[in-house]
């Protein structure tokens, strides 16, 4: 895609900018859809109907109406809040979430930036989100906001370690940080996916990554930063209107990003599960990639409406005493295996 | 490559302006948050020099680790709701001496290596594998020493945190 664009427009910087905008065309409709989807899933799991009226068929236009409402809302900044940081924080959070999309390979033909350190870049750039959340919580000048953002930061920096270690296990098998290359190594049938390679080490690594990524994006059972029953709304308590919409959008963008990483590293990315059947063209790649990611997102939502929330000490226990030791064992096991097998 | 020059100047300005804010602002939270833009700007300059691994490591260590811990420390140690966390100027003369020594040594390094600095790599080359191999072969000892120092700091911090809890 990049070479075609370069032939079309001679300016390199302009081409890179265009390439960077492409995922936004997916993220925004996805967030609108996912909010509606989550409401329907939660409703069906709790034996009720959820939104049914707006738009006619099963309330499909509910989130569009919600966004229209949020846009019209008055822009409120609390008097005691720190104005500059309060305004800046949602943008920092969204930039952090969206920057990860630069290295996510949507198809064999498209990845925002073909960089050698793609996966490493995604792990590191997501730390911007932590800074943004701390900024939002502190600038709101509200105890609930501050506790929410402190919890969120503590949780994200604790679970970054198992996330990085589990991804490192896959990288050790692949031998590269390049997301496209990792994806290409898994092309073939379903058995070539990394989740079934070096069994059971990468299988466990995939599970550890999934659990830890739930904590990274503040999803239940790790949604302590915004647990409504204790903290009102956590770091976004004081936010309303478009600023709230931006924080919400980046939350869903994060959900998709971690699912996309899981799919790329462990479930074959844009590759078809049936060998050369339904593969080859860019639309098949994109279709498989989005389908697999949506399945992972469905599991995230399913867990949210099934499991109760953990306590803070349980959260730290799971992170430091369960996930991290297991990921070290996996790394040692894969290291020994790679040395013994010679590749 | 003229448009990349513009990108360079944007990030250079971002780095320098935010560094000035870090030094001159009275509000310690503003200083900490503008440090974010300094780190991002420096990482972007590394990217423009084709040092991709270094740039990403810069963000991971400084933004993801050090800055988060710094903010955490400030938020937890100060009165939680008060906004007026101020910085002041203390120990002017020792600070000036230390700054002069650092500037002097940086300038010396700069002038001595000026002629030997090569052109930056023109095409993006994979640096990760080369850095990894060097860390595991030629620079294995400094690498291990650094990790032992960090481990000692970690154990020390945990010990100090425990001691205060049990009076």
Per-residue pLDDT of chain A (343 residues; tens, 9 = 90+): 667 777 777 777 778 888 888 888 888 888 888 888 888 888 888 888 888 888 778 888 888 888 888 888 888 888 877 888 888 889 999 998 888 888 888 888 778 777 888 888 888 888 888 888 888 888 888 888 888 888 888 888 888 889 989 998 888 888 888 888 888 888 877 778 888 887 888 889 999 999 998 888 877 777 777 766 777 777 778 887 788 888 888 888 999 999 999 999 888 888 888 877 777 778 888 888 899 999 999 998 898 888 888 888 888 888 889 999 999 999 999 989 888 887 6
Q: What SS3 state is found at B86?
A: strand
User: From B73, which residue of chain A is nearest by alpha-carbon distance?
Assistant: A150
**Dihedral sign, Cα of residue A117, residue A186, residue A6, residue A103:** negative
- Residue A138 and residue B75: Cβ atoms within 8 Å? yes
Alpha-carbon distances of B24 from A88, A110, B17, B37, rounded to whole Å: 20, 44, 11, 15
- What is the nearest CA distance from B163 to chain A, expressed in angstroms? 20
How much is the pLDDT for B85? 53
CB A251 within 8 A of CB A96: no
- State the ipTM, two decimals: 0.81
> Number of Cβ pairs closer than 8 Å across A and B?
88
All residues at 6 or more sequence positions from A328 whose CB lies less than 8 Å from its CB, including other chains: A165
- Residue B29 and residue A138: Cβ atoms within 8 Å? yes
Using the Cβ of A134 and the Cβ atoms of chain B, whether some distance falls under 8 Å is answered with yes
Using the Cβ of A297 and the Cβ atoms of chain B, whether some distance falls under 8 Å is answered with no
How much is the pLDDT for B146? 92
Using the Cβ of A226 and the Cβ atoms of chain B, whether some distance falls under 8 Å is answered with no
Domain B2-88: which CATH number of 1.10.12.10, 3.60.110.10, 1.20.120.1200, 1.10.10.10: 1.20.120.1200
* Site from A117, A129, A216, A324 to mutate, B interface, most B CB atoms within 10 angstroms: A117
Picking from B59, B63, B72, the nearest residue to A153 by CB comes out as B72
User: From A164, which residue of chain B is nearest by alpha-carbon distance?
Assistant: B60
Tell me the percentage of chain A whose pLDDT exceeds 90. 9
**Dihedral sign, Cα of residue B30, residue B32, residue B36, residue B41:** positive
Alpha-carbon distances of B7 from A149, A162, B10, B102, B124, rounded to whole Å: 33, 35, 5, 29, 17
User: From A126, which residue of chain B is nearest by alpha-carbon distance?
Assistant: B64
Which position has the token pair 């427009």? A9
How much is the pLDDT for B165? 54
- Residue A135 and residue B126: Cβ atoms within 8 Å? no
CB A130 within 8 A of CB A93: no
Ranges of residues in chain B whose predicted pLDDT is under 50? 80-81
């Amino acid at each position: 895609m990049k070479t075609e664009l370069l032939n079309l427009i001679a300016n390199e910087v302009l081409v890179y900018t265009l390439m960077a905008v492409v995922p936004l065309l997916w993220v925004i409709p996805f967030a609108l859809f996912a909010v509606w989807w989550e409401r329907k899933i939660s409703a069906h799991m709790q034996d009720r109907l959820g939104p049914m009226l707006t738009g006619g068929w099963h309330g499909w236009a509910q989130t569009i109406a919600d966004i229209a409402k949020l846009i019209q809302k008055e822009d409120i900044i609390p008097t005691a809040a720190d104005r500059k940081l309060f305004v800046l924080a949602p943008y920092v959070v969204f930039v952090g979430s969206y920057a990860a999309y630069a290295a996510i390979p949507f198809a064999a033909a498209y990845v925002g930036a073909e960089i050698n350190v793609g996966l490493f870049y995604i792990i590191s750039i997501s730390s911007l989100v932590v800074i943004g959340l701390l900024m939002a919580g502190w600038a709101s000048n509200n105890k609930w906001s501050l506790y929410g953002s402190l919890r969120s930061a503590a949780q994200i920096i604790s679970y970054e370690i198992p996330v990085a270690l589990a991804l490192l296990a896959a990288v050790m098998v692949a031998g590269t940080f390049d997301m496209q290359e990792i994806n290409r190594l898994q092309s073939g049938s379903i058995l070539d996916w990394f989740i079934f390679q070096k069994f059971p080490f990468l299988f466990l690594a995939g599970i550890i990554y999934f659990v830890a990524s739930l904590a990274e994006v503040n999803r239940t059972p790790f949604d302590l930063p915004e647990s409504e029953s204790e903290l009102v709304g956590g770091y976004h308590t004081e936010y309303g209107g478009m600023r709230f919409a931006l924080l919400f959008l980046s939350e869903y963008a994060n959900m998709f990003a971690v699912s996309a990483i899981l799919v790329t590293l462990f479930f074959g990315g844009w590759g078809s599960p049936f060998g050369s059947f339904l593969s080859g063209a860019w639309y098949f790649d994109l279709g498989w990639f989005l389908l697999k990611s949506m399945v992972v997102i469905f599991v995230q939502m399913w867990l949210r409406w099934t499991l109760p929330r953990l306590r803070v000490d349980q959260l730290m226990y799971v992170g430091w005493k369960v996930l991290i030791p297991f990921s070290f064992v996996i790394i040692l096991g894969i290291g020994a295996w790679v040395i013994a097998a010679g590749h | 490559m003229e448009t990349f020059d513009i990108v360079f100047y944007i990030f250079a300005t971002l780095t320098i302006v935010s560094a000035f804010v870090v030094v001159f602002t009275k509000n310690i939270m503003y200083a900490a948050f503008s440090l974010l833009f300094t780190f991002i700007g420096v990482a972007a300059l590394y990217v423009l020099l084709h040092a991709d691994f270094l740039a990403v490591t810069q963000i991971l260590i400084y933004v993801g680790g050090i800055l988060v811990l710094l903010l955490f420390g400030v938020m937890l140690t100060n009165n939680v709701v008060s906004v007026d966390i101020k910085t002041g100027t203390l120990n002017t003369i020792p600070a000036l001496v230390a700054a002069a020594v650092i500037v002097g040594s940086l300038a010396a390094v700069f002038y001595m290596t000026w002629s030997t600095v090569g052109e930056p790599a023109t095409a993006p080359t994979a640096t990760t594998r080369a850095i990894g191999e060097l860390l595991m072969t030629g620079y294995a000892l400094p690498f291990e020493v650094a990790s032992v120092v960090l481990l000692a700091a970690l154990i020390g911090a945990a010990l100090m945190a425990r001691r205060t809890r049990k009076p």
